Structure 1
Amino acid sequence: MKIFTNILLLIAIALIIVNVFLVDFNKPLEGNSMIALIGIAASFCAVLILLIFRMSKKIEEKLKN
C-alpha cells in the first residue's frame, strides 16, 4: 500500500509542476491558464488526501500493536 501511495503522490506532484508551466502569469484567469490553475488546485487536494490517508494508516498500525 505504501508503494501505491508513493506512486500516486509522485504523479500528483508531477501534475502540479506541469500545470505551473502551463499558466500564463500575464493573464492567469483566461483560457488554458484557468484550466491549469484548476489542475494545480485538484492535484494539491490529491496530495493532501494521500498524506492524510498515509497518516491514518500509520495511526492504525500503532493501534494494532
Structure 2
Amino acid sequence: MKIFTLILTFIAVALIVFNATKLNFDALFEGESYTAILTIIAALCAIILLQILRISKKIETLSKKRK
C-alpha cells in the first residue's frame, strides 16, 4: 500500500508541475489557465487524501500491535 500511495503522489506532483507551466498569469481565470488551476487544486486534494490514507494505515497497524 505504501508503494501505491507513493506512486500516486508522484503522479499528482507531476500533474501539478505540468499544469503550472500552462498558467497564464495575465489572464489567470480564463481559458486554459482556469483548467490548469482546477487540475492543480484536484491534484493537491489527491495528495492530501493519500497522506491521510497512509497515516490511517499506520494507526491501524499500531493499534493491532497493541492488542
| TM-align CA RMSD | 0.5
Task: Flag structure 1 segments of 5+ consecutive residues without an equivalent.
Answer: none
TM-score, structure 1 as length reference: 0.97
**Which aligned segments of 4 or more residues in structure 1 are displaced greater than 3 angstroms?**
none
> Counterpart in 2 of 1:11?
11
1:46 aligns with 2:39: no
Specify every segment of 5 or more residues in structure 2 that has no aligned partner in the other structure, as ranges: none
- TM-score normalized by structure 2? 0.95
Alpha-carbon displacement from aligned partner over 1:6-51 (angstroms, at most 9, x marks no partner): 0000000110111111010111000000000000000000000000
Aligned residues: 65
Q: One-letter code of the match for 1:23?
A: L
- State the identity %: 48
The higher radius of gyration belongs to: 2
